[in-house]
Structure 1
Amino acid sequence: MQLSNHGQEHDRRPAMDDPTHSPRPYKRSKSMKHAGDERTDSDSCPETPRADSAAVLATQPIEAGQETSAPETAAKKNAFHELMTKKPRPPAAPSIPPRGSSSRPSNPYYLNNDPRSALAAYLSNPESLPSGVILFHNADFVVISDAYPKASVHALVLPRDISVTHLHPINVLNSNPALLSSLREISEQTRTLLAKELQRTHAKYSATEQIRQKAFEALEDRAIAEPGFDPDSEESQAMLPPHRDWAACIKIGVHSRPSMSNLHVHVISEDMHSRCLKKKAHFNSFNSRFFVRLDEFPLDEDDPRIPDVGSMNSTLKGDMVCWRCKRNFGNKFKELKDHLELEYQAWRKI
């Protein structure tokens, strides 16, 4: 499956050695930083919809405890000048045409002025959107960063087949094995892409990755001391400890009762670390049976997650249970949110 230039550009992002393709690492002095040390995973939540890939893939927030100070000259700036100076606005996601707008009929992915059709803006002509909006696309799928990510990395896979885009995900994935197979394939490609981003942003904290990095450096030291020793040979590479399995930290699935009308699959990391995680329903929608993994399909005929078979309201409104330690927080979202931060710090150090 061929990816667009958007995907190719993304693959050139600076990263520690790739789990699937490990180039020869360079020897680093202790004073050097990892590539990307100054870039951290996004934990911001825009107040207006954004599809900038930076919303999921590497923004630059100020680290906790970091002091910032403006230059002394900043305080002396003319207040009137500051007020009148136009400030650039951040890039916005494709806007949703208002009901009755003449632009809506030209996009078949909108459904009867359904206000839940926001994702239709990405499907009709992804080539026309800015490169930061789309992660990659082809004739059959568009993959975007979620505008309101609920974890360190969070992407959406959108099928472009107009005959399925308005169907309920549970029904169509239960009855269309060809589509299910294609979605599994493109979602795995997305998982690989997001796993590289997790590695890039968290490798400097990971004990597993640091052990491997030190082993890399030992091979290069040996190459200097022993002329003829090749640190890039298969035998040498086999001596290295494994990478952390970042792909295993990412889950793929759909909501049993989706809030958006266009068919989409979530590819999301397990850490639930995001400012956009603001309420109980956000958490439970990814950490209960409300979230149906692609590898669970096809479902049994009596599965309550199938529309008209059962209700999922009680599941979405049920107790919140930590994804990592399984502690039950009941309805105490603030307490859970504080706990998730502690779990996140421990999780990234594995």
Structure 2
Amino acid sequence: MSRHQPHNTNSNPQLLDMDESARSPRSSKRRRQDMSADEDETDSASSRAESPSNLLDEPSSSAKGAKATKSTATEVRKNAFTELMSKKPKPNPPAPAPKVQRPGPNPYFLNSDPRAGLAVYLSDPASVPSKSMLFYNDDFVVIKDAFPKSTVHALILPRDISITHLEPLELLNSNPELLASVREIALQTRDLLAKELRRVHLKTSALERTRQKAFEGLEERAISEPGFDPDSEESQALLPPGRDWTSCIKIGVHARPSMSNLHIHLISEDMHSDRVKTKKHYNSFNSGFFVNLDEFPLDKGDERIPSVGHVTNGMLKGDMVCWKCKRNFKNRFKELKDHLDAEYEIWKKI
């Protein structure tokens, strides 16, 4: 070996390390501690990465749920408010009601005359209640007076619209054809009212009781004699006449009617009614103000005719005279009413 060649004391590194480790146990131990420290530092960093302080950057699932619930509630409130304030669609308008065909004006009314109360009977007599109607035909309507001033009281209403608003005295005085037709219908109506008077007073009238007793005898005879008819004309002729009720009925018109439609009164003479309340009520049927049908045609100078005179108002205001005994009660209406009641008790027993 050359004297000048350098001497390599550690040509193998591993051997050098081993030698160093062998030579210095502390150095080896220190190196292991350093490695352990590095590992601890790595674990600590990893642990810090998962610590709660870092997790605050991303909310937990429960926090997310609470936030979502709050957001949903706010949205619900917002939607409810929006729904409330939003314009709602207008409902479809209801279908229009069908138009009712209204009846035309009643031609029997004259310019809405408040005195045309009888017009309702003339325009549609078929609709008049049976309690008010007696009968009607093409020319006349016959009704019961709504405010009867006697035991029986009826009205005849001509249906001819061309004459319904004319003044009765001048019309009946100048139209003989109308007067004849009114008389004919008046006689038919009078017969109906006479039968009603007989029915009402059948048990109070002496003449009617006598006739009724005789008729009962005919009925007994019919039992013993087969074929005998007590209702035949021959049998009825055997009976006493009974009371003539037709003579108790007056027929006429008022010189100045209170109702505008033409009408003729048929009224029993007794004036027994609680509807007779004033002097005018009584005198309108028991003075010259009441023009009997038998008086027509009137004299052309009769002052009751509107175009001739104006005396009718004085007739209504004149003295009240009993229709039966002719006693003058002047203006004592209460005394007259009491007297009429007494007269009626006598009259119904005839």
Instruction: Give the TM interval when normalised to the shorter protein.
Output: 0.5 to 0.7
1:230 maps to what in 2?
228
Deviation at 1:121, TM superposition (A): 1.1
**Residue 248 of structure 2 is aligned to residue 249 of structure 1:** yes
Distance 1:184 1:306 in 2: 20
Q: Distance in 2 between matches of 1:293 and 1:316?
A: 16
Task: Measure how far apart 1:213 and its partner are.
Answer: 1.2
In 2, the alpha carbon distance for the partners of 1:155 and 1:252 equals: 10
| Corresponding position of 1:152 | 151
Instruction: String of CA shifts for 1:69-107, please: whole Å, max 9, x gaps.
Output: xxxxxxxxxxxxxxxxxxxxxxxxxxxxxxxxx979611
1:125 is matched with 124
Q: Which runs of 5+ in 2 are unaligned?
A: 1-100
Provide the C-alpha distance between the structure 2 equivalents of 1:163 and 1:227, rounded to a whole number of angstroms: 59
Bigger Rg over Cα: 2
> Aligned-pair RMSD on alpha carbons?
1.9
Once residues 237 and 118 of structure 1 are traced to their aligned partners in structure 2, the CA distance between those partners, rounded to angstroms, is 43
Match of 1:338 in 2: 338
The 5 Å alignment of 1:261-340 reads 261-311=260-310, 312-340=312-340
In 2, Cα distance between equivalents of 1:103 and 1:260: 26
Q: Which residue of 2 aligns with 1:348?
A: 348
What is the rounded CA distance, in whole Å, between the counterparts of 2:134 and 2:234 in structure 1? 36
Aligned to 1:112, the other structure's residue is in SS state: coil
Give 2:171's aligned residue.
172
**Distance change (3 Å), C-alpha of 1:104 and 1:322:** farther
**1:56-76 residue CA offsets vs partner (Å, 9 max, x unmatched):** xxxxxxxxxxxxxxxxxxxxx
Larger helix fraction of residues: 2
Superposed displacement of residue 111, structure 1: 0.6
Q: 2 CA distance for matches of 1:129 and 1:235? A: 39
CA contact (8 A) 1:222 1:229 kept: no
Alignment of 1:80-99 (within 5 A): none
Q: Distance in 2 between matches of 1:327 and 1:321?
A: 5
Give the 5 Å matches for 1:95-110.
106-110=105-109
Structure 2: how far apart are the matches of 1:121 and 1:223?
49
Q: For 2:183, what is the secondary structure of its paired residue?
A: helix
TM-score (norm 2): 0.67
Corresponding residue for residue 10 of structure 1: none
Aligned-pair CA distance for 1:267: 0.6
Moved more, 233-242 or 112-121: 233-242
Between Structure 1 and Structure 2, how many residues are aligned?
248
Separation in structure 2 between the aligned mates of residue 223 and residue 118 of structure 1, nearest angstrom: 51
CA drift at 1:229: 8.4
Q: Write the mapping of 1:39-78 to structure 2, written as runs, cut at 5 A.
A: none
From the superposition, tell whether residues 220 and 139 of structure 1 become closer, same or farther in structure 2 (CA, over 3 Å).
Answer: closer
Mapped to 2, the partners of 1:259 and 1:103 lie a distance apart of 29
SS at match of 2:166: coil
How far apart are residue 329 of structure 1 and its match?
0.4
| Fraction of identical pairs, as percent | 67
The letter for the 1-side match of 2:324 is R
Q: Whole-Å Cα distance in 1 between the matches of residues 122 and 308 of structure 2?
A: 31
Report the alpha carbon displacement of residue 132 of structure 1 after superposing the two structures with TM. Answer: 2.1
Hey, what's the Cα distance between the residues in 1 that align with 2:276 and 2:161?
Answer: 31
CA contact 2:147–2:275 (8 Å) conserved in 1: yes
Higher-RCO chain (CA-CA 8 Å, sequence separation at least 6): 1
CA contact (8 A) 2:249 2:267 kept: yes
Asked if the contact 2:132/2:146 (under 8 Å) is kept, the reply is no
Counterpart residue identity of residue 180, structure 1? L
CA–CA separation in structure 1 for the residues paired with 2:333 and 2:316: 13
1:185 aligned residue: 184
Structure 1 stretches of 5 or more lacking a match? Answer: 1-101
How far did residue 197 of structure 1 move?
Answer: 0.7
Q: Do 1:231 and 1:237's aligned partners in 2 also have CA atoms closer than 8 Å? A: no
The 3 A distance-change label for structure 1 pair 234 and 113 is closer
Cα deviation, residue 315, structure 1: 1.0
Contact conserved, 1:142 with 1:157, CA < 8 A, in 2?
yes
1:270 to 1:103, Cα distance in 2 relative to 1, 3 A = farther
Separation in 2 of the partners of 1:234 and 1:136?
A: 26
Paired residue type of 1:281: K
Instruction: Give the Cα separation in 2 of the matches to 1:227 and 1:276.
Output: 50
